[in-house]
Chain A
Amino acid sequence: MVWKISLFLLMVFVSIAGIAFPIVPIPVKWYEFPLIPGLKENAKIIFFHVPTAWLSVVAFFMSTLYSFKYLKNKNLDDDAKSYAAAQLGIIFCILATITGAVWAKFAWGSFWSWDPRQTSIFALLLIYGAWFALRSSIESEEKRASLSSVYSIIAFLTVPFFVFIMPRIMKGLHPGSADDTNSGPVIDFKMNANMQLIFFLSLIGFTVLYFWMWNIGYKSIIYRDKLNKQNRG
């Protein structure tokens, strides 16, 4: 109970701090953010955009991990865990796409410009979509679990290409692209200490929130399946 309240307080603090703390050219007080050239006020969306994008990848990874476990142990609970992770993953994936598109509109001038990372989040959305389409087309529980596990593992193998290789060899707008002069992620060189603190607090807060939601999610799926079986039997 205590950690739930502290998580709530943390998320409230992060939301308020992320939106309301002022951006000034030379930060003096502890609550002031530095002015990042080229980003200005819209730099603040980083507190929400990066955690959602991070969680969409974490969720996808966990979904694959439990798919792998299912194939190993043939325990349907693992399939429920994988399914719950993917359900949350698609929500965070959509959120990351939307926050990213909004940020892109104000920072780069258009909602969508097929930057390599935009391509990869689009591919991730497609993978999630295809995975749910595959699951809904199969009636039998065991068959659904094993086929979707196989698909999720195969799909996961393409992720390194999108996340690590494509953005670095293709020209892009995100930091860390092949033609970026200040290569390396933003957090290394343009944020000051308090901005980094809020950023990592936000990352931690969202991650804990994700695990909490995932925990409730998979338990409810397992209970629902049990109830269905009881009713049938």
Chain B
Amino acid sequence: MTNKAYALYQKDFHSEMRTRYAVNSLAMFVIVAISVILFSVGNETITQSLTAGLFWVVIFFSAMSGLSRAFVSEEERGTTLALQLVAAPTTIFSGKLFFNIVLVFCMNIVITILYSALFDSFAIKNFGLFIVAFFFGCAGLAIASTIIAAIISKAGAKGTLYPVLSFPILLPLILTSVQLTLMAFDGSTFSDAKFELAIIICYDVIMLTASYLLFDFVWKD
């Protein structure tokens, strides 16, 4: 199963490398979003809580612009049936999830680097806490958006529905991640942030389990 999932990931990776559609559009989206924020901020120094919020706003909307590709592209090319024949639903979900996790991590590392270069208030005091929060935040984002992508690829309307469906699901994750990012800015210790970390880990585990259980019903027509 792991081999097949990895093969599926490689297939997605190669087809992505051929067109570079998702990577290019994501990169441009990140640049556009950050420059809009920079223009609207102007010469003012913004507070740290606002920076933490804006950081996750950019992450959320970038994820929404790129992550639905995983399943929508299969529907567009008409390759869904072939996939259904060659692999079990769990394998397909694993492959797609792995691809999305890689994409989210690359995207968010770029966003973090851009933010720390461009915003003075993006100063992380507790780097360890930020890394842990970032890791679980990105993982949760990838998991939840992958299953929602599977749902909307089967539904008719594709573009606009994706952020609408994802936002309420991602809201607990985003609120907690903003809180954790802010704590990393303040230099809070791990024991200060243990509740928030517990929430974010619970969220990841719950979403992962539920996605695997429910993906069968989405995938089979």
Contacts and interface: CB of A to CB of B under 8 A. Distances in A.
B217 interface: yes
A147 B172 contact: no
Contact of A147 (B144, B154, B171, B199): B154
Nearest to B160: A133
Contact of B155 (A127, A138, A155, A157): A138
Interface residues of A, number: 28
A161 B156 contact: no
Contact of B157 (A123, A127, A137): A137
A158 interface: yes
Contacts of A166: 172, 175
B218 interface: yes
Interface in A114-141: 119, 123, 126-127, 129-130, 133-134, 137-139
Given A154-B147, A169-B195, A123 B218 contact: no
Interface string A131-169: 001100111000100110111011101100110011001
Contacts of A133: 161, 164-165
Contacts of B155: 134, 137-138, 143, 147
A158 B157 contact: no
A104 interface: no
A146 B172 CA distance: 25
A134 B144 CA distance: 16
A119 B178 CA distance: 15
A201 interface: no
B218 A158 contact: no
B221 A158 contact: no
A134 B161 contact: yes
A101 to B, nearest CB: 19
A161 B161 contact: no
A207 B96 CA distance: 43
B101 interface: no
Contact of B168 (A130, A146, A147, A169): A130
B172 A130 contact: no
A166 B210 CA distance: 21
Interface in A58-98: 71
A10 B148 CA distance: 44
B207 interface: yes
Most chain A Cβ neighbours within 10 Å, of B144, B156, B167: B156
Interface in B179-221: 195-196, 199, 203, 206-207, 210-211, 214, 217-218, 221
A137 B156 contact: yes
Nearest to A70: B217
Contact of B151 (A127, A151, A162, A165): A151
A133 B210 CA distance: 22
A147 B218 contact: yes
Contacts of A71: 214, 217
A134 to B, nearest CB: 6
B123 interface: no
B206 A130 contact: no
Contact of A158 (B154, B164, B169, B217): B169
Given A138-B156, A166-B172, A147 B164 contact: no
Interface of A: 71, 119, 123, 126-127, 129-130, 133-134, 137-139, 143, 146-147, 149-151, 153-155, 157-158, 161-162, 165-166, 169
17 contacts: A130-B167, A134-B165, A137-B157, A139-B156, A143-B155, A143-B221, A149-B217, A150-B218, A153-B210, A154-B144, A154-B169, A154-B210, A157-B207, A157-B210, A158-B171, A165-B172, A166-B172
